[in-house]
A and B are shown apart, each in its own frame.
Chain A
Amino acid sequence: MSSLSLKDVCKSYGSVEVLRDINLEIDQGELIVFVGPSGCGKSTLLRMIAGLETITGGTLEIDHERMNDVPPAQRGIAMVFQTYALYPHMTVRDNMAFGMKIAKKSRSEIDAAIANAARILQLEPYLDRLPKALSGGQRQRVAIGRAIVRNPKVFLFDEPLSNLDAALRVATRIEIAQLKESMPESTMVYVTHDQVEAMTLASRIVVLHGGNIEQVGAPLDLYERPANTFVAQFIGSPAMNLLDAKITAAGETTSVQMPDGGRATVPIASQGSDAGSSVRLGVRPEDLTITESDEFLVSADVDIVEALGETTVLYFMSKNGEAALIAKLPGIHKIAKGTNIRLTAAPEKLHLFDDKGTSFFYR
C-alpha cells in the first residue's frame, strides 16, 4: 500500500515553473531522500507535501486521501526544519506539547507522548530547559521530538543536519538512522543536498534536477546503474568520468573506441543502428586500475598526484585546464608528475550513455 503518492504534481510561481509533473509513490515504512543541487526544487516539493506551499497542479495523496487543500495540521505530517524552528520562549517540554495543547489533548495524553519522545531521543534531563540553553545537536533532537509527539503518518525532514558542525552531523545522522529503525512503520521524507546523507539513510533516493525527477532507486542501484549522465555525475565522489567514444561494434555487447586509442567492450546491449554513433563512456574514478597491456581505456600523462595514504588520486587535465579524468587508486602509489600511465577498468564497471545522456542500460 502506498502511504504517500504524488501524481503529476506541478509548481509554478507566475510563469516560472519550478516543478514539472512529479510522479512518485512512497510506501509505508520507507525513508525517501530527495537529493539534488541547489534550486532543483527538492525543498519546494517537501514544503508542498507539508502544505506550506500550494500545489499548482496534480494530486497529493496521503493514505489514499487527496490532501491538496487540506490544512497542514490535518495532513498527518510533521516537519523538522533546517533551523530547528523551536519556539524560543518555551521550554523543551512546552515546545513538544504545543501542537497537542492546540489540539486540546488531555494532560495525561500529552505527558505520555512527551515522555515517550524524550525517552527515544534521550532528552529527559533537558525537558525544562529553554532552547537557548541547548547545543545544536540537542536542539535538533528537540525538533525531531516535536515531530514524534505529533505521531504523524509521514515525517518530513528539511536538510536537518545542515546547521550542525561536521562531527555532530555524523553523530546526528546515525541517530536519525537509529530512530528510523526504532520506528519501522513510520514513513519519512528527507531532503538533503549531501549525497553521503542520501546514500546512508535512504531506502530509496529521488534525484531531482531542474524541477524534474531524474531517477528513483535504492542508493546502490543509483551508484551502479545511473539512468543518465546527471545522476552518474551527481552520485559518487569524485564524480564519474565521462569519455567521448564511438561505437565500433553493436550487439549483445558493445565495443567502443576512444579518439586517443583507448578501447573497451562493454557488456551492455546496443542495436545495429547504433554502430558508428557518438556515445559517452562512463567510468568511476575508483573503478580505474593501472595496466601495462595494450587493452587500455586511457593513456595519458599525470598532471597532479594527491597521495592521501588511504588512496592516491590522479588528475589528468584536458587542454583547457579542467580535470578531464580522475582516477582514485587504493593504497599508496609512487607515481611522479608527468608519468605516462595506462588505465583500464573491469568491463562490467563501465557505463554507456547516448548523445542525449541517457544510459544504454535503461533504453
Chain B
Amino acid sequence: MNPALQGVITIIVGVGGCIGYFYLSNQFLDKVLFPARGKHIGRNINRANMIRPWLFLFPAIFALALYLGYPVIETLRLSFTDRSLDGAFVGFDNYAQMASEPKFWEAMRNNMLWLIIVPAMSTAFGLLAAQLTDRIAWGNVAKSFIFMPMAISFVGASVIFKLIYDTRPANQDQIGVLNAIWLMFEGGPGSYLFLRLLPAGIVICFALLMAYVLYLALKPLFRREAGAGGSWWSVPLRLFAGFVAAWMIWLSAKSVFSVLAAEFAYGSPQTWLTLPFWNSFFLMVVLIWIQTGFAMVILSAALRGIPEETIEAAILDGANPFQIFFRIKVPQIMGTIVVVWTTITLVVLKVFDIVFAMTNGQWETQVLANYMYDKLFRANDWGVGSASAIVIMVLVLPILVWNVYNARKEMS
C-alpha cells in the first residue's frame, strides 16, 4: 500500500477512534447508565456529570499509567534484581556496585558541574539577550538567530560543534574554528593579553563577585536590620552560602596564579575533546548555545510584562540603567527566572545526546544518562542500569516539583 494512503487511513482511524470513543461513551453514560428520564432524573443527571470528567480523562490517564507509571515501578523493581542470577532479588547490591565504580562518581561529578554551569549561563545569556534585543531596532532579527538553535536537535548541534572542535595534523589547514584561532597565538603580547591577563581578570572578577555574595550572605548576621526577621533556617543557610562563597574565593585566588603561570603548547593543534576536565566545558557550550534561545524568549516576554510606570518611577528616582535592570526589572521577573532556571536544570539532568554523540563519556566526560545507557544497553546489565535510572529520577523529582510549583505561582 502507498505510504501516503496508509498515513491517511491512520489519521482517519486515530481521529475517528477518538471521536467515536468520546461520542459512544457519553451516549452510554447518558442513555443507558444514568438516563435523563424516569423517577430519578435529577439524581441521574448529577451522577452522569460526576462521571463525565473521568470519561474524558481516562485515555490520558491510561496512556500515562501504561507508558510512564508502569515503567517507573518496573525500573525500581529491576534495580533490586540481578540479571546473572536469573532476576533474583539482591536488595541494594546494584546500588552498592554502582557506588564502587569510579565512572559513576565521575558521572555524578560531571552532572553536578553541568547542573551549576549550564542553567546559570543559559539564563544569564538569555536575560542579557532579552534585555538588549528589546532596545534595538533589529532586535527581532537578532532574537530569531539566537532562538534558532532551539530548532536543532541535540545530535545535530553536537555535529556542528564537533566540527568547531575538529583537529587536523599540524601541517594541514585546520577546519575547526577553535584550533584555527588557537594557532593564531604564538606566545607574543597578544597571547599574553588573551590567554593570561584576560582569563586571570575573569577569575578575579568571579572572586570579587563571590566576595560580594559573601558580604550579602553574612551582613544581616552582624547588623540586625529592621524588619529582617527571617526564619530559623536562614542563619545556617546564610552561613553555608558564606562558606561556599569563601571556598570559591580561595579556589579562584589559587587558580589566578596557575592561569598566569600555565605553560601553553603554542603552534600545535589541540584535540579539545580529549582534554580532561576542560572537555566537559566544551560539551556544555553546546547545551548553553541551545538553551539560551529558550531562556531569552521566555524572559523577553516577562520583561515586556513589567509595567512601564515602575521603570519611569525609577528613572525619576534617579536610578541608572544598571540599577533599573538589577533592582527594578530583575526582581519583578524573579519568578519567571526561577521557572526558566529549573526547566533548564531538568534538561541538564537528563542530558544524554550531546555526550553520546561527541565523546560517548570518554576522557572523563561521563554523565549519568550516558552511564545508564552504557550499563543498560551496552553491558546489558539492567540491574545497575535501572539503579542509575532511579538515581537520575530521584535527582530530577524535587526540582520538577519545585518547577511546577513555581510555574503555577507565576500563572496565578
> Whose C-beta in chain A lies nearest to the C-beta of B320?
A102
Q: Give the residue of A77, A88, A89, A103 whose beta carbon is less than 8 angstroms from that of B316.
A: A77
A88 x B315 contact (CB < 8 A): no
A72-B316, A81-B312, A83-B309 known; A89-B334 Cβ under 8 A? yes
Instruction: Tell me which residues from 74 to 111 in chain B have a Cβ below 8 Å from any Cβ of chain A.
Output: none
In the complex, the number of residue pairs spanning A and B with C-beta atoms less than 8 Å apart equals 65
A73-B318, A83-B307, A102-B317 known; A52-B312 Cβ under 8 A? yes
B316 x A128 contact (CB < 8 A): no
Interface readout for A64-96 with B: 1 if CB under 8 Å, 0 if not? 000000011110011101111111111101000
At the interface, yes or no: B227 with Cβ under 8 Å from chain A?
yes
Task: Give Cα A361 to B374, complex, Å.
Answer: 97
> Whose C-beta in chain A lies nearest to the C-beta of B312?
A52
B315 x A87 contact (CB < 8 A): no
Q: List, in ascending order, chain A residues with CB within 8 A of B314's CB.
A: 87, 98
Give the interface residue-count category, chain A. Answer: 20 to 34
Q: List, in ascending order, chain B residues with CB within 8 A of A99's CB.
A: 316-318
Select the residue from B316, B323, B328 with max chain A CB neighbours within 10 A.
B316
A85-B312, A85-B313, A93-B227 known; A102-B334 Cβ under 8 A? no
At the interface, yes or no: B310 with Cβ under 8 Å from chain A?
yes
A102-B323, A128-B227 known; A87-B310 Cβ under 8 A? yes
At the interface, yes or no: A50 with Cβ under 8 Å from chain B?
yes
At the interface, yes or no: B331 with Cβ under 8 Å from chain A?
yes
Q: List, in ascending order, chain A residues with CB within 8 A of B332's CB.
A: 87-89
Q: List, in ascending order, chain B residues with CB within 8 A of A52's CB.
A: 312, 315-316
**B411 to nearest A CB, angstroms?**
16
Q: Give the residue of A74, A77, A81, A91 whose beta carbon is less than 8 angstroms from that of B313.
A: A81
Interface readout for B317-355 with A: 1 if CB under 8 Å, 0 if not? 111000100011001101000000000000000000000
Task: Give Cα A51 to B314, complex, Å.
Answer: 12
Task: Give Cα A212 to B223, complex, Å.
Answer: 56
B316 x A87 contact (CB < 8 A): no
Task: Give Cα A203 to B309, complex, Å.
Answer: 28
Q: List, in ascending order, chain B residues with CB within 8 A of A102's CB.
A: 317-319, 323
Interface readout for B105-149 with A: 1 if CB under 8 Å, 0 if not? 000000000000000000000000000000000000000000000
Q: List, in ascending order, chain B residues with CB within 8 A of A81's CB.
A: 309, 312-313
Q: List, in ascending order, chain A residues with CB within 8 A of B331's CB.
A: 87, 89-90
Q: List, in ascending order, chain A residues with CB within 8 A of B318's CB.
A: 71-74, 99, 102-103
A86 x B310 contact (CB < 8 A): yes
**A112 to nearest B CB, angstroms?**
14
List A residues at the B interface (Cβ < 8 Å).
Answer: 50-52, 71-74, 77-79, 81-91, 93, 98-99, 102-103, 128, 146, 150
List B residues at the A interface (Cβ < 8 Å).
Answer: 227, 307, 309-310, 312-319, 323, 327-328, 331-332, 334
